Amino acid sequence: MDSAELERIAAEIAEELLAGAGGEGVAGCQDVCPGCVQRCVQMCAEKTRAIVAAGADRVSAGERLTRVDPALAALIDHTILKPEATREDVVRVCREARRYGFASVCVNPHWVPLVAQELRGSPVKVCTVVGFPLGATSTAAKVCETELVLRDGAQEVDMVMNIGALKSGDYGVVESDIRLVAEACHRRGAILKVILETALLDDTEKAIACALAKLAGADFVKTSTGFAKGGATAADVALMRRIVGPQMGVKASGGIRTLEDLKAMTAAGATRIGASASVKIVEAASR
């Protein structure tokens, strides 16, 4: 499929679904909160509920998580991506994931062999990131990095889309970038999540990015890296879900701080949640 055809298809999907949004996103979330810093998941339980109600499959959370229902543990990507994370930190996260039955442990590529070793024999998946956090490396580099982490034991890959190419209208570049990484993942039975970095995109760009990820064969779309100027919003997740439909996953990246936030997301339909310190949530819920 050539670039012109991709542009036409993406534009048609974006136009149709954006028109259906009526310009208001998720009900109740069109208003801007005083002092808004675009960190709804961390700061506002009401908007966190709306994010999951909009259709998020996973939601990323920061290290200071507090409470969650234990039944939700299997939805959580237990995450440690901070650059100063040590071997001891990574081993601790793996042991927590095994104990509580989290969906995966998500780490930077350097730690994949260690995580694979620590999780061997458990149902917890090994997750890592590619082209992280900027998405601006070459496709060849992303594919090579993907193949290396899969060889080392990764089972899930969160890649960052080429944000600059999307904003330049180079849709063929974006689709090819995702498709080649998706093919590398699927050859090894791994799944691919595409990080859009929604804080850097307008609604039309978000819609087109989702359409391209779907066309390219990705398994999930994800809002954010957690390293940009903002995280997930309910309106973003609603838009993403409308475009990808029920077949693909949607992961909201931000920060979950309370049991109320997390329950609200899952009650609305989330099937995966990203968190750095999920243990505090699980233990609080069990109490």
- Looking at the annotation, which residues are catalytic? 158, 222, 251
Phi/psi-derived region of residue 101, left when phi > 0, alpha when psi is between -120 and 50, beta in every other case: left
Residues 6 or more apart whose Cβ sits within 8 Å of residue 46: 28
Which residue bears the tokens 């090894």?
Answer: 188
Between CA 162 and CA 212 the distance in angstroms is 12
Cα–Cα distance list, 201 to 34, 77, 165, 181, 264 (Å):
22, 24, 12, 22, 26
233: Cα separation from own chain's centroid: 13
Quick one: CA torsion of 15, 50, 227, 89, rounded to 10 degrees?
A: -140
User: In this structure, is the dihedral angle defined by the CA atoms of residues 132, 134, 135 and 140, taken in order, positive or negative?
Assistant: negative
Q: What type of residue sits at position 195?
A: I
Residues forming a β-bridge with 158: 129, 193
Count the Cβ atoms, other than its own, within 10 Å of residue 170. Answer: 17
Six-digit token string for 190: 């791994």
Q: Are 75 and 272 in contact (CB under 8 A)?
A: yes
